[in-house]
């Protein structure tokens, strides 16, 4: 008998390695991987381009009015074995990862109308199961009935170190202090916003990977997947 397809929801603070584990699981299981943070980042990029948002302002009503103009798609890049984010047909994978954009994304993702649009799209992408989705509200709002829910944590310093290295490798010009401040700022904003704050779902399994290697983490999580899939 074929194992049943399940939904895997991975939530947690920024830079906790959610996407690394989600990508590994999706590859191993031949499931669809959806990086919902990339979608919030792409909407933020759109808002920046139209000058609706900067460090001092947010033109919420103007952004809400133009939500129908925003078309988000993922396209699989064979070479990178990774689905890249496209905003209105343009590959924005690089632009959405900058520290400048990271400083504005929590503001934009706190808008309920933005969340409603993206959550609907995410639910559609996962309607046939066989999906690994990472974000902040996947186990609580997008797929409250997901068979497996993980909640990832790690100390802010560990996370900032990981993010800092990643950004340097990708050629971004940043300082560690700036990255740490951004990680802490986003933790605060994402978990205190009114609509769908980042909280652990009651039935999510918490993983603190501050001192856990990737291999060990994957093996432990994969065991959980097998139990849920065969159960």
Least distance between ligand DC and beta carbon 225 (Å): 20
Q: Is 22 exposed, middle or buried (0-12, 13-18, 19+ CB in 10 A)?
A: buried
Q: Which residue's CB is nearer to ligand DC, number 20 or number 66?
A: 20
129 CA to centre of own chain: 18
Least distance between ligand DC and beta carbon 196 (Å): 7
Q: Which residue's CB is nearer to ligand DC, number 37 or number 126?
A: 37
* Cβ atoms of 39 and 94 closer than 8 Å: no
CA distance 12 to 151: 5
* CA nearest to 43, candidates 19, 21, 67, 20: 67
Least distance between ligand DC and beta carbon 105 (Å): 4
Binding to ligand DC by CB under 6 A, coded x per residue (else -) over 179-218, reads -------x---x----------------------------
Q: How many residues does the chain have?
A: 231
Least distance between ligand DC and beta carbon 191 (Å): 10
**CA 217-223-229 angle, 5° bins:** 130
Place of tokens 């939904």: 7
CA distance 115 to 217: 30
Q: Which residue's CB is nearer to ligand DC, number 24 or number 36?
A: 36
Q: Does residue 17 come out as left (phi exceeding 0), alpha (psi in the -120 to 50 range) or beta?
A: left
> SS3 sequence, 165-191?
HHHHHCCCCCCHHHHHHHHHHHHHHHH
Q: Among residue numbers 138 through 177, which ones bind ligand DC (CB under 6 A)?
A: none
Least distance between ligand DC and beta carbon 128 (Å): 20
Q: Which residue's CB is nearer to ligand DC, number 168 or number 226?
A: 168
Q: Are strands 131-135 and 148-153 parallel, antiparallel or unpaired?
A: unpaired
Q: Which residue's CB is nearer to ligand DC, number 136 or number 162?
A: 136
Least distance between ligand DC and beta carbon 158 (Å): 15
Name which position in 109, 140, 182, 209 contacts ligand DC (CB under 6 A): 109
Binding to ligand DC by CB under 6 A, coded x per residue (else -) over 120-139, reads ---------------xxx--
Q: Among residue numbers 35 through 94, which ones bind ligand DC (CB under 6 A)?
A: 36-37, 40-41
Name which position in 8, 9, 10, 14 contacts ligand DC (CB under 6 A): 14
Residues near ligand DC (CB under 6 A) are 14, 36-37, 40-41, 105-106, 109, 135-137, 186, 190
């Amino acid at each position: 008998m074929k194992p049943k397809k399940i939904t895997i929801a991975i939530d947690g603070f920024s830079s906790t390695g959610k996407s690394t584990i989600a990508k590994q699981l999706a590859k191993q299981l031949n499931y669809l991987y959806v990086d919902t943070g990339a979608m919030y980042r792409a909407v933020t990029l759109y808002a920046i381009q139209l000058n609706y948002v900067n460090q001092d302002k947010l033109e919420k009503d103007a952004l809400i009015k133009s939500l129908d103009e925003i078309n988000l798609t993922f396209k699989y890049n064979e070479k990178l074995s990774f689905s890249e984010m496209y905003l209105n047909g343009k590959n924005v994978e690089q632009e959405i990862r900058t520290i400048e954009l990271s400083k504005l994304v929590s503001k934009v993702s706190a808008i309920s109308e933005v969340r409603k649009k993206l959550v609907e799209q995410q639910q559609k992408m996962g309607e046939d199961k066989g999906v690994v989705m990472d974000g902040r509200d996947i186990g609580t709002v997008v797929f409250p009935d997901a068979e497996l829910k993980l909640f990832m944590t790690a100390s802010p310093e560990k996370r900032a170190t990981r993010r800092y290295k990643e950004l340097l490798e990708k050629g971004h010009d940043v300082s560690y202090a700036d990255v740490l401040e951004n990680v802490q700022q986003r933790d605060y904003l994402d978990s205190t916003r009114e609509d769908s704050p980042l909280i652990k779902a009651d039935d999510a399994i918490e993983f603190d990977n501050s001192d856990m290697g990737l291999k060990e983490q994957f093996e432990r999580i994969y065991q959980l997947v097998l139990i849920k899939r065969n159960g």
